[in-house]
Each structure stands twice: as structure tokens, then as C-alpha cells.
Chain A
Amino acid sequence: MVKKLLIVIFLIYPFYVFSQQEPDNQIQVNFNSYFDNFRLNVIYPSINIVKSIDNNTSITGSYLVDAISSASMKMTFKVDGVTSATANKQGGGDNTPDELRHQINLGFVRNISGVSVSADGMYSIEHDYSSKTFATNISIPFAKKNTVLQIGFAGNWDKVFPQTRFWTRSRNTTTYNIGMTQILSKNIVSQFDFSFINIDGYMLDGYQVVRILNGTNLSILEPIEPEKRIRKALGARMNFAVSKHSTLLLGYRYYWDTWDIKSSTIDAEYKTHMSDYTNISLNVRQYFQNKAYFFKATYTVPEPLMAVDSKLNSGYTNDISVNLEYKGNRYTGIPIINNDKVTFLASLGFFHRHTDSPDWVMRMSELYAYLISFGFKFSL
């Protein structure tokens, strides 16, 4: 009954349509990196372009590379059981990239009678995985731009073909998003978001294995997980203008799925203009989750469902990051920096994950990761 009432409320809520801001013409180049104590190193350069082609239409494009270097665990399948990085030559173990992933995106944003419509296609390829994505989004502002309704859809069609197996399997994902951004007062804006994600097909890591020790007999088996998963998440955020130069964002997300994982995420971000040229933000985030119903710290006998992925274990994470933006017109006479079209970007992040039982491969419960990113935006 409540469900029907909600549907009726949303259907009769008036839609007064008007314009949405177009994205700025710019090139953004980022050089990102990730290092953790599970011996995973990732270098992640990317380039993104937005260019308007008429008064109402912009095209977007991006290209990125994931270069993954990981000391090999010398597992049964001679791949890294933690990261799934498969060596170009068996074993890995040096500092050269073990795996490269290329991703290209092309899309557009068009303003149609005040309503912003976007569509984006993405193709990603690595030597044991490929993915195609189509995503579209519509933003409808109404109530004198005090409210913006966002409706999004994305479809992913993935192929998994591990180097150590003789099969190719599919994973198809459909994602529906509905969100609403609402101005609450002269100093407060809020956002609510609901996601519904349906996944069908092979969701495992093709390289991980389950070790079952029964007495002196060691069995090495493939993990088995359900081939369907429905994931839902509700998020709410509020951004407060706490002073003329500073804002405080507070957010909460609740997540639940058909594998019995439930999680809560809280985050806070403080941003301030330190000067006309410098903007700095501090973000703190904490996350808690319980485990999937079939995940176990150990298995003593083969079971219909078996998982070794730490993402499915219970635990919590902490994340803290600092971001800096610097507009390049502060100092005159210095080449490159002396350009009011350039904004320099830098961020430093620290991530900690605790799982209630040790990781199946690394035998550690604590993961510590460092994220470093720098880049620039250039206005066209």
C-alpha cells in the first residue's frame, strides 16, 4: 500500500522544465596512482575532453590506461590472486606492468528545451576481460531551478576470458538511477539518489581459488557464487555554506543486496577557498558492511557456494583525502603557470580496510592503500 502511494506521489509531482548548465569546454589530464600493502601498484593516466559544437550540444571523450604492476603470488594459476593481475609472462614479480587496460569513452550532452540529455558509450579491453557500456542520463530542472530530477540508465555487457581457463563467460549489468537535487535554503542544497543494479552472469574473479584442507588432503577448487545479484542503494547528501568561503558536505548511504550484504557509508567534506586562486578540500569517509551469506573464512568441505573475495567479507573501511586546486594566474611572468586558462589539480588519499577474517591469499586483515593524483584542466 505504501509502495503504491509513493508511486502515485512521484507520478503526480509537477515537472516544470527549464534549462540546465552546459559543461565547460576543457581538456583535463590526470596522472593517478594507487599503492597498497597487498603489493598492488596501479598507474592510471587519463585524458578527458569536453567541446561544444553548437549552443546546445557538447561532445565528450576520454581515454585512460590502467597499468597494473603486482608482485606475483606464484599461485597455482601463476597469477596474482589478490589483484587478478595476470603476468604477460608467467609469474610477474618485477616492477614492470603485468596488465594493461585501455578504456575509451565517447558521448554527448544536449540541451533540449531546457532539459539536459546525455549519452555515453564506453569500451574497455584488457587481455582477459572486455566491457561495453552504454549510459544515458536526463536532468529535468523545475520549480524555478530549485529542484533537478535526474534519471539515469546504464547497460554493461562484459566478457570474461581468463588466460588459465578454456572458456569465455558473460556478465550483463543494468543500472537504473533516480536522483533529486533540491535547494533547501539560501545556504543549503540537498541531493537524494536511489540506484537499482541487476547483474546476471559470471561475477567471479576467474583466477581466485578455494583451498580446502581436510586432514592431510588439500583440494584446490574454483569459487562458486550465484549468477544473479540485485543491488540497491539509497544515498542522501547535504551541502551547507558555512561561511562566505567555506562549505561542509555531509552524506549517508545505505546499501543492500540479494547476497545479504548490507552496508552504511558516512562521509563529510570540508571545502574552502584559501585565496582567489587556491581551493582546498578535506574528505573523510567511513564504511561498514556485513558479509555475503555464502562467504566463510575457511571451508572444510566443498559447498554449493564458496567465495574467497574479501569484498564479500564483513568489515569496515576508513578513507581520508585532501584535494587542492590552484588556478594558474597567480604569478606573472612564469610560463605555463601564468595562464588563467589552466587549473592545477592534486590530491592525496589514504585508505584503510579491515576485514573480520584475514584475506584468503595475503592472510592479512588490514589493507593500507595510498592514492596520489595530479593533473590540470585547460579551458578551451
Chain B
Amino acid sequence: MKYIYIFLVLIFMTISGCAVVQPWERERLADPNMMFDENPIQKGIKEHYINIREGSEGGTGSQGGGCGCG
């Protein structure tokens, strides 16, 4: 478990240490391709099939369930 705590501390340090990017500096960040899971429907379709073939779930910002397929 200590690795997980170290991982969380690193996340916090990363977040705390970064500079604030002003709205007028976000031209590239505003590109739809910079969004995580730009199309959540397609993401859900893919995860649906992956979840019935692999023993893991979670950690990707979405929630599964709903069928008796696995």
C-alpha cells in the first residue's frame, strides 16, 4: 500500500507545483482533442467489451455494470 500513498503524494505535489494557465493562454488546450474521453459514448462501447474479457475495472473515470455478460 505504501506505493499507492507515494503515488497520491506525487499527484498532490504535481498539482500544487504547477503554474496557473490563464484563459487567454489556452488556445491549444481548447482543442477538442485535448479533452479526455471526448466521446464518452464510444469510450463506453469499448470498455463494455474490454470488461468482459479482462479481470480489472475502474481507474478510468467511468462506471460499468448492467449486464450478465461477465
Residues of chain A touching chain B, judged by Cβ–Cβ distance below 8 Å, are: 2-3, 6, 9-10, 13, 28, 30, 32, 34, 42, 44, 46, 48, 62, 66, 68, 83-84, 101, 103, 122, 124, 126, 128-129, 131, 133, 135, 143-147, 150, 152, 154, 156, 158, 160, 173, 175, 177, 179-187, 189-197, 205-206, 231-237, 239, 241, 244, 246-247, 249, 253-255, 257, 261, 263, 265, 271-273, 279, 281, 287, 289, 292, 310-313, 317, 319, 321, 323, 345, 347, 349, 351, 353, 367, 369, 371, 373
Contact = CB atoms under 8 A, between A and B. Distances in A.
Interface in B51-70: 52-61, 63, 65-70
Nearest to A162: B68
A205 B56 CA distance: 16
A126 B67 contact: yes
Contacts, number: 213
A197 B68 contact: no
Interface string B1-42: 010110111011011001111110111110111101001011
Contacts of A353: 53-54
A129 B60 CA distance: 26
Residue of A44, A144, A194 with most partner-chain B CB within 10 A:
A194
Contacts of B63: 133, 135, 152, 154, 175, 177
A317 B21 contact: no
Contacts of A42: 49
B62 to A, nearest CB: 8
A181 B33 contact: no
17 contacts: A28-B41, A46-B45, A156-B65, A158-B68, A173-B65, A175-B63, A177-B58, A205-B70, A206-B68, A234-B4, A255-B57, A272-B33, A273-B31, A319-B50, A321-B46, A323-B42, A351-B53
Interface residues on B, range: 35 or more
A186 B68 CA distance: 44
A132 to B, nearest CB: 9
A146 B67 contact: no
B33 A46 contact: no
Contacts of A195: 57-60
Contacts of B60: 193, 195, 233, 235, 253
Given A253-B60, A345-B42, A311 B52 contact: yes
Contacts of B56: 231, 233, 253, 255, 257, 261, 263, 265, 287, 289
B58 A231 contact: yes
Given A144-B22, A182-B18, A311-B55, A241 B34 contact: yes
B42 A373 contact: yes
B49 A371 contact: yes
Contact of A233 (B19, B49, B57, B65): B57
